[in-house]
Amino acid sequence: MFSRPQLEERTIAFFRYPLFWVSLSLVGGFALQHFFTLPLPVWFGLVVIFFGLQVLWYRDTRFFWFFLVFWMAVGAGIHFWSLDYPLSRFRSWDGRTLSLTGYVVEKDGRYFLSRIEGFSVYSPSLLLRGKDLGSWVYSRVVLRGVFRKFASCANPGGVDLRLRWWKERVMGYLEVEEGGVIRDRSPWFTLLRWAKEQEGRFFSVWQQELWEETSLFAALFLGKKDPEFFRQKNFFERMGVYHLFCVSGFHMTLLGGILLGILGKFLPFSRRSSFLVLGFTFLYLLFCGLVPSAFRAFLMFGFYLLGKRLGRKIFSEGLLWSAFLLMMVLQPEILLDAGAQLSFASTGGLIVFMHRFQKHYRERNVVFKRIGENFLMGLAVYSVSLPFLIVHGFSFSSLFFLGNLVILPMTEGILFLSFLGVPLTIVPVLLHPFAPVLRFLLRSTSFLVQFFVAHVPHLFLDFARSADRFWGIWLFLGILSLSLSLIIRNRVKILLYMLFVPVLATPFLLPVSEEFWVFDVGQGLACGIMTGDSFAFIDVGGTIRGYGPVGETILEKFLLYRGIEHLDLIFLTHWHQDHAGNLQVFASPSAQLQVFAPENTSERGTPFIAVREPASFRLGDRVVIWGFPVTGETVNDKALVYRIVFPGARVLITGDIEEGGIDSLLRYGKSIEAEVVVLPHHGKYYPNLPELLLRTRCHTVIISCGENNYGHPNPEVLALVQRMGLQCFITWNNGAVRFWNFWGRWRVKSVGKRNL
């Protein structure tokens, strides 16, 4: 127990940053609920119990811990009502015809049904398909259609659509059959509809003035990106300035500064002027689609004006945490949004480090001061935001320093002229003096970015690649240690400690020598073999609802993730579309690639080598792939079975062979022994399957299947595997499965898939 003076001092120290502790506790509770999914009675009971404990022990030191647990329970409750509860309701409606009432909203060219009736706290959204709903945007409608859950595939470097949309509170999609507009009584959606109309009018006026520079202007000023802009996207990423083309706090701060500067010339700071500034910035926020990063800046700006109006002392930390808390209550999904995470992390880095850097940096020369401040600003931002860039697979460029020094002032000029030109769109003739200057600045920006990228040596890390993520961790620790060494004593110790951490993790992050993958490609099969710089596919999957051809949406993403630029071989078990449907994605006429497959007289599109006798093929120097032709009465039995021989391990891939094919395979005797077996036909049961598993002497089986109407995997197969004591992975439940050599010991592990 503390004495009263100690208690008062401790209480003051705690309440100096109460919003920080509230925010930290909310995030902790939200994260716990996200990963462990506590039931309603648990977190609700915690809220009630620890609220009571706070009241009873408000003078005790235990109050602090009761306070933290209480807000953690509140964070778990927010997660439950915003994500878990809507999911539990929609999960049972898959495939049913529903009639729903809500508002149609548009985002990135897609239409969603929002504010769905029947959800009192946090309403989910549904993606709308089947009809063109452009004329109904921001209107209240009644829609009737079939509800479907998103397909779920978990692969390295890929996107799990069900998980991705769930994080945005989109629970599935509605195949719209019919619907109609009903009376709209919402002032909010009326305002959004008006803003949408004004945005279209504003954009059409500028389009007539800017010509071919319109796409760059739309991306910079409104965050609207079209195919023309995406053709230049790679240059902006390599320059480290792509974030300037995403509406953020940079835009809101510039607009707020312009408005305060103009109004300050004519009006003293008053309630009226602050309302005018907030009104204009809010309209700009509506035009840009209420993106989280801009919304965060708007809230901070609003709290700043409120504090200034009330005559309070304003701390940047307080503004940031206040904006965070309000956004979390209004839009809990921002915690899972990459843009929002980067926005808060970058702002937090500037707040924590920048003013401390400036205390130690006193350069009188204007030029060197500008250069130093730009470098320190980048250092402060990346000290906190780089982990988020790595996790979300974005990129880092050492040209960011040059971008801050040259490109940033140019974009400030473009935005300054754009903001000044907004009122002039009422009379388009008045825009004529602005248009040539804007076109010149936009062209100069594009030219300089391409020039710097092409002629200035630089480091570029694409964190979509696993190897670049490894170097990104080293880079982050180096930048963070440099930042800390500039503001804390014992700088040498900090540098040594921070750089020593990745040394311990290096054995776990270095590329492995050999590995085998069974990808999660739905009701199909696609396997990958990697050894050194060599890579081969065995089957290449088919098409999945929502994903399209998996060759483009899953397998190519994996090749990019692992930095594989050259594909050596493709082997096919048979020619069905769920196994060979993406062959032309990889086996183009220009590709130096060999395809081995069973004989098929109907295949004319892709050159291949027919395997009619048992044969072996080398992949690199250490891996041998055996192909065993099998025969039987069905089409599935006229196939090839592959046995991969790694140093110290073997894998057997059986394709879709049935009972006759299994009998044919058993004739190869000990040649089919393997530690890992990919079971036949997506887990279908055959009478001779137990004998196959006994003859292979395997310890692990893998079943590749997805949503289907065939009953795969068969319960008899799962019972058989359990009786034999075999380890079993099912891609439908576990995601992609990896079998790899870790320092001489072979291991099996799945990517993992959240059960949604």
Contact yes or no for 118/142 (Cβ under 8 A):
no
Q: What is the 3-state secondary structure (H, E, C) of 47-85?
A: HHHHHHHHHHCCCCCCHHHHHHHHHHHHHHHHHHHHHHH
Q: Phi and psi of 111, rounded to 5°?
A: -110, 140
Mean pLDDT within 453-464: 91
Mean pLDDT within 49-62: 75
Mean pLDDT within 3-17: 44
Token reading at 306:
């409120």
Q: What tens digit of pLDDT does each residue of 537-561 get?
A: 999 999 998 888 999 999 999 998 8
Asked if the model's pLDDT at residue 652 lies above 90, the reply is: yes
Q: Sorting pLDDT into bands at 50, 70 and 90, what band is 460?
A: very high
pLDDT of residue 512: 56
pLDDT of residue 9: 41
pLDDT of residue 321: 86
pLDDT of residue 192: 86
Higher pLDDT, 7 or 467: 467
Q: What is the 3-state secondary structure (H, E, C) of 136-201?
A: HCCCEEEEEEEEECCCCCCCCCCCCHHHHHHHCCEEEEEEEEEEEECCCCCHHHHHHHHHHHHHHH
What percent of the chain is helix, strand and coil (3-state, nearest 5)? 55, 15, 30
Of 4-13, 31-40, 341-350, 361-370, the least confident: 4-13
Higher pLDDT, 340 or 308: 340
Mean pLDDT within 71-86: 90
Secondary element (H or E) of residue 741: strand 737-742
pLDDT of residue 250: 85
Asked if the model's pLDDT at residue 97 lies above 90, the reply is: yes
Asked if the model's pLDDT at residue 361 lies above 70, the reply is: no
Asked if the model's pLDDT at residue 622 lies above 60, the reply is: yes
Q: How far apart are CA 31 and CA 379, in angstroms?
A: 28
Asked if the model's pLDDT at residue 598 lies above 80, the reply is: yes
Residue percentage of the chain with pLDDT more than 70 = 91
Secondary element (H or E) of residue 516: strand 514-518
As a CATH number, domain 93-184 is 2.40.50
pLDDT of residue 10: 38
pLDDT of residue 590: 54
Higher pLDDT, 54 or 136: 136
Q: What tens digit of pLDDT does each residue of 573-584 get?
A: 999 999 998 988
Higher pLDDT, 441 or 226: 441
Query: DSSP letter at 676?
Result: E
Indicate the SS3 state at residue 378.
helix
Mean pLDDT within 104-109: 86
Mean pLDDT within 8-13: 40
Give the CATH architecture of domain 514-750. 4-Layer Sandwich (3.60)
Asked if the model's pLDDT at residue 356 lies above 80, the reply is: no
Mean pLDDT within 282-310: 85
Angle in degrees, CA 473, 476, 478, rounded to 5? 110
Q: Sorting pLDDT into bands at 50, 70 and 90, what band is 45?
A: confident
Mean pLDDT within 608-630: 92
Report pTM. Answer: 0.85
Q: What tens digit of pLDDT does each residue of 211-255 get?
A: 888 889 988 888 888 888 888 889 999 999 998 888 888 888 888
Indicate the SS3 state at residue 589.
coil
Residue percentage of the chain with pLDDT more than 90 = 34
Higher pLDDT, 743 or 351: 351
Q: What tens digit of pLDDT does each residue of 321-354 get?
A: 889 999 988 889 888 889 899 999 998 888 888 7
Highest mean pLDDT among 194-203, 593-602, 641-650: 641-650
pLDDT of residue 364: 67
Enumerate helices (H) and strands (E) in the chain, giving the number of each: 30, 24
Token reading at 300:
């901070």
Average pLDDT of the residues of the chain = 85
Token reading at 511:
């590329």
Q: How far apart are CA 544 and CA 450, in angstroms?
A: 38
List of E strands, 393-500: 395-397, 460-462
Neighbours of 533 (CB within 10 A): 11
Highest mean pLDDT among 307-316, 410-419, 718-727: 718-727
Asked if the model's pLDDT at residue 508 lies above 80, the reply is: no
Query: What b-and-e string marks burial along 218-239, b requiring 16 or more CB atoms within 10 Å of the CB?
Result: bbbbbbbbeeebeebeebbbbb
Side-chain half-sphere of 380: how many Cα atoms within 13 Å? 21
Q: What tens digit of pLDDT does each residue of 137-156 get?
A: 888 999 999 999 998 999 99
